[in-house]
Amino acid sequence: MESILFKNFMRNWPHGLAVISATLWVGGMWAIGYLAVPVLFHALPDNRMLAGALAGGVFAAMAYAGMACAAYLTGYILWRAGSKAFGLGIFRVLMVMLLLTLLGKFGLQPVMDGLKAQALPLDVMHSELADRFRMLHGVASIGYVLQSLLGIVLLLKLDGFRQAT
């Protein structure tokens, strides 16, 4: 009995780790973006600069966690499906999610951070840069919502991926 359980675990651990990785990434995005950050801004209504700085820190940490999860998931899907992976919906969803993460972290966020720095000592929202910041924040928010929704698709597709390959 013990050896059957061990063999089953050894055969399925790559998929189990893929499920854990996807759950960490998607669950983390939902928990941070739709629970923790709104609570921060609600708890610190008089210090939106601090709330924004804290939110930026947790979004950055989640972006790095997402990149790590995406790296494992990419390797797992390629290992299981080989060159057929490039034609699979799960792989495409994963790549769009990763692209959105990279664009947010290394494209939009540095520009937004630069605007915040230029606005100092003022809060960027109380400076002449507010409109540009608001526009970039809106683009980042749309990307985050899209990524969050794609995360649901990723989880659903991952559920059936092991049986399909």
Q: Are 136 and 118 in contact (CB under 8 A)?
A: no
Residue from 112, 113, 89, 100 nearest 165 by CA:
89
Instruction: Identify the pLDDT of residue 162.
Output: 72
Instruction: Identify the pLDDT of residue 3.
Output: 72
Per-residue pLDDT of the chain (165 residues; tens, 9 = 90+): 567 766 666 678 899 999 999 999 999 999 999 999 999 999 999 998 899 999 999 999 999 999 999 999 999 999 999 999 999 999 999 999 999 999 999 999 999 999 999 999 988 999 999 999 999 999 999 999 999 999 999 999 998 887 666
Instruction: Identify the pLDDT of residue 159.
Output: 84
Residues 6 or more apart in contact with residue 99 via CB below 8 angstroms:
none
Kindly tell me the sign of the dihedral angle through the C-alpha atoms of 113, 23, 146, 48: negative
Instruction: Identify the pLDDT of residue 44.
Output: 94
- Reported as half-sphere exposure (CB side, CA atoms, 13 A), residue 70 has a value of 21
> What is the rounded distance in angstroms from the CA atom of residue 3 to the CA atom of residue 104?
46
Q: Are 51 and 40 in contact (CB under 8 A)?
A: yes
Instruction: Identify the pLDDT of residue 2.
Output: 61
